[in-house]
Amino acid sequence: MDQTNPIKAALNECRPLFISCFWFGLFINLLMLAVPIYSLQVLDRVLSSNSVETLLMLTLIVGIALIFMGLLQVLRSSIFTQIGRWLDDKLSMPLVKKTVELAAANKNIGSQPIKDLSTIKSFISSPALASIFDAPWAILYFIVIFIINTTLGYLVVAGAVILIILAIFSEKTKKAKMGDANEANVKSGQAIESMLRNAEVIRAMGFLPNASKKWQEHNKNSKILGFAIGNFATLLTHFTKSFRMGLQMIVTGLGAYLVLNQQMSAGGIIAVSILSGKALGPFDAAPSIMQSWVGVKKAMERLAKLNITLTEEQKILLVDPEGNVQIEKLSFQESSNKKWILRGININIQAGEAIGVIGPSGTGKTTLARLLVSVLQPTSGSVRLAGAALSDWNEDQLGSLIGYLPQDVELFEGSISDNISKFSDDVKDEDIIAAANIANIHDFVLKLPHGYQTQIGVGGNMLSAGQRQRVALARCFFGKPKLVVLDEPTSNLDSEGEQALIKCLENAKAENITTITIVHRPQILQKVDKILVLHDGEAKMFDTPEVVFAKMASKNLKIQNIDSEDSNIQKIKADS
């Protein structure tokens, strides 16, 4: 399978069905000849012979032909629809997975890949694709027209050539502008999605005009280009329509002239009129089909750049892994500006240890957290869980072994229990309650109107920021993972929530769960075994709290809100 372009690879799997539809086109178009031939025979044979039997027999034969033609058309349309559905089933989950992966890496991709797949699927199910499959068989109509009259045959061929020239002219004229218009439309959609995600801040701080400038810029370009393309398309459509009507008139008039000169029968006029419409149909539709194809081609190009994979690499499931973590020569470079965020970090964490991570803003703490849960991939070095690099783990198993609380907490529409259990099927109530107990939120949940079945609304908007953070914390411990990474878990917590978090770290330690917590409040450091001090992307210290703060005091260091002279730190040193 062509993994360089999985979209084409998926379509290639449907090649036998496409070939079948191509040959269906032959029989459909052969059966379509029944109507003009019927008209020709009725006018030239039935009327001249006054034979009702002949009329009935012709009508019966043509009626049967039309029934079979309709069945073949329905069958072909059904095949195209099924291909579209199969393509959606084949690609939607890999696309969603890749989109989430890119979004997690801070790439502003939005939902465009899903829209691109929908564009391709809609084209496959549309009449445009059927017209493309019918186009090669238009030659049948030209052949019959030439059989009826050579002069009219040449006239219809000339009309087809003119329509082809118009289609090529249209395609070349639109091509450059269409690409720019599509890109402007995509960027406009991404900009408005970004605004909607930050609607609360925009409204509260009143910077909608400034925030919308970028969207207005892309939207303006999209409108200008779309307006120009729309005007050109309208002009071309009306010109083509007028040309077709004029050609039809010329065919009828020339046909009448030929009949008067006894060069063709009267029935030939009706037959050629019907046949010319069928013959020129694909050429007439060519401009609109080409316009649709440009959008499909752009969508396929964007999807090809995502490098999605249709088959997952089978990885070994490890049995009863422990939560020991090895960080080996870990470095990460930002791809956009080539800035090194982390450089050469080497630390070993034993299973069940509680680690606190401190350091100034912008020193790479959040990047480290994202590397520890495999949201980002290292530029060099590795993160190992239970001795195996994260990239070597089966993703489903790894996901069940890791809990992660990011800075920006997101919950999903549903109940408290749904969110804690990660919407797992056949989940046991005791597993949900166990996770809530570790996170120390069981009592808080029971006080809600419907307990664990309380609906929290879209994005958890029925809960406060602190409550959302505590529910997300419980989600981290569902299934008793081996490693939990918490990125500033106290950012939305009050003093009660902070004490609950401290108790949570104690509970995790009792369950032998390794925790790595990015800390800005010194109280949390009361329950950690070791502290990692990051500065300028490097691990400056990694030791027990008393050793770390003794060194900080000797060097008169203060990192963020954590001061070695803080009363809480002095308490930690005294307790130690």
Residues 293 and 347 in one domain: no
Query: Per the domain annotation, does 513 fall within a domain?
Result: yes
What confidence score (pLDDT) does residue 559 get?
A: 56
Residues 393 and 278 in one domain: no
3-state DSSP assignment of residue 75: helix
Query: Per the domain annotation, does 431 fall within a domain?
Result: no
Examine the pLDDT at 201 and tell me if it is beyond 60: yes
Backbone φ and ψ of 317, nearest 5°: -85, 125
Residues 65 and 196 in one domain: yes
Which has the higher per-residue pLDDT, 352 or 283?
A: 352
What confidence score (pLDDT) does residue 572 get?
A: 47
Rg (CA), the chain: 35
The whole-angstrom separation of Cα 374 and Cα 390 is 7
What confidence score (pLDDT) does residue 576 get?
A: 47
Mean pLDDT value across the chain: 84
Examine the pLDDT at 445 and tell me if it is beyond 80: yes
Which of these, 116, 92, 232, 100, lies nearest to 185 by C-alpha position? 116
CB-based contact 472:504 (threshold 8 Å): no
Residues 269 and 343 in one domain: no
Question: Per DSSP, what are the bridge partners of residue 380?
Answer: 331
Measured from the Cβ of residue 392, the count of other Cβ atoms closer than 10 Å reads 15
* Alpha carbon distances (Å) from 540 to 371, 525, 531, 568, 570: 19, 17, 10, 22, 21
Query: Per the domain annotation, does 508 fall within a domain?
Result: yes
Instruction: Find all residues with CB under 8 Å of 510, minimum gap 6, and list them.
Output: none
CB-based contact 468:493 (threshold 8 Å): no
Q: DSSP string of 166-205? A: HHHHHHHHHHHHHHHHHHHHHHHHHHHHHHHHTHHHHHHH
User: Which H or E run contains 333?
Assistant: strand 325-333
Examine the pLDDT at 569 and tell me if it is beyond 70: no
CATH (domain of 531) = 3.40.50.300
Residues 297 and 331 in one domain: no
Query: Per the domain annotation, does 1 fall within a domain?
Result: no
Instruction: Find all residues with CB under 8 Å of 14, minimum gap 6, and list them.
Output: 83, 86, 87
Query: Per the domain annotation, does 164 fall within a domain?
Result: yes
The whole-angstrom separation of Cα 384 and Cα 391 is 9
Mean pLDDT computed over 453-457: 91
pLDDT tens digits along 489-523: 888 787 888 888 889 999 999 999 999 999 877 77
The whole-angstrom separation of Cα 225 and Cα 218 is 11
- Reported as a pLDDT band with limits 50, 70 and 90, residue 44 is confident
The whole-angstrom separation of Cα 28 and Cα 137 is 9
Q: Residue 167 corresponds to which amino acid?
A: A
Last residue of a domain, one of 273, 304, 335: 304
Degrees, nearest 5: CA angle 395-399-403: 155
Query: Per the domain annotation, does 469 fall within a domain?
Result: no
Backbone φ and ψ of 409, nearest 5°: -80, 130
144-148, 437-441, 559-563, 569-573: segment of lowest average pLDDT: 569-573
Rounded percentage of the chain residues whose pLDDT exceeds 90: 36
- Reported as a pLDDT band with limits 50, 70 and 90, residue 106 is low
- Reported as a pLDDT band with limits 50, 70 and 90, residue 311 is low
Instruction: Find all residues with CB under 8 Å of 469, minimum gap 6, and list them.
Output: 405, 409, 489, 491, 492, 493, 497
Which of these, 459, 94, 490, lies nearest to 304 by C-alpha position? 94
Residues 287 and 334 in one domain: no
Own/partner pairs for 227-232, CB < 8 Å, 24+ apart? 228/177, 229/174, 229/177, 229/178, 229/181, 232/170, 232/173, 232/174
Residues 274 and 378 in one domain: no
What confidence score (pLDDT) does residue 1 get?
A: 41
pLDDT tens digits along 86-104: 988 888 888 887 887 777 6
Where do runs of H (alpha helix) occur along 322-428? 365-372, 395-401, 416-420
Examine the pLDDT at 140 and tell me if it is beyond 80: yes
Query: Per the domain annotation, does 42 fall within a domain?
Result: yes
Residues 269 and 359 in one domain: no
Which has the higher per-residue pLDDT, 107 or 1?
A: 107
What confidence score (pLDDT) does residue 556 get?
A: 67
pLDDT tens digits along 160-189: 888 888 777 776 766 656 666 667 777 777
Burial environment of residue 276 by CB neighbours within 10 A (0 to 12, 13 to 18, 19 or more): buried
Backbone φ and ψ of 463, nearest 5°: -110, 160
The whole-angstrom separation of Cα 428 and Cα 414 is 17
Query: Per the domain annotation, does 153 fall within a domain?
Result: yes
> What residues make up the domain containing 103?
6-304
CB-based contact 387:326 (threshold 8 Å): yes
What confidence score (pLDDT) does residue 310 get?
A: 63
pLDDT tens digits along 214-255: 677 767 777 776 777 677 777 777 788 888 888 889 998 999
User: Which H or E run contains 496?
Assistant: helix 495-510
What confidence score (pLDDT) does residue 560 get?
A: 53
The whole-angstrom separation of Cα 412 and Cα 468 is 10
The whole-angstrom separation of Cα 225 and Cα 233 is 12
Mean pLDDT computed over 525-551: 89
What confidence score (pLDDT) does residue 338 get?
A: 84
What confidence score (pLDDT) does residue 2 get?
A: 45
Which of these, 106, 28, 113, lies nearest to 68 by C-alpha position? 28
Residues 250 and 121 in one domain: yes
Mean pLDDT computed over 389-396: 84
Residues 553 and 502 in one domain: yes
Instruction: Find all residues with CB under 8 Å of 190, minimum gap 6, and list them.
Output: 108, 109, 110, 112
Tokens of 532: 């990692």
Which of these, 98, 201, 191, lies nearest to 408 by C-alpha position? 201
Mean pLDDT computed over 38-55: 87
Question: Per DSSP, what are the bridge partners of residue 484?
Answer: 403, 515
Q: Where are any strands of DSSP class E within 475-550?
A: 483-487, 514-518, 530-535, 538-543
CATH (domain of 279) = 1.20.1560.10
Give the count of domains, the chain.
2
Instruction: Find all residues with CB under 8 Å of 344, minimum gap 6, and list them.
Output: 329, 330, 331, 381, 538
Burial environment of residue 311 by CB neighbours within 10 A (0 to 12, 13 to 18, 19 or more): exposed
Residues 239 and 380 in one domain: no
Residues 209 and 253 in one domain: yes
* Alpha carbon distances (Å) from 65 to 14, 251, 304: 29, 27, 43
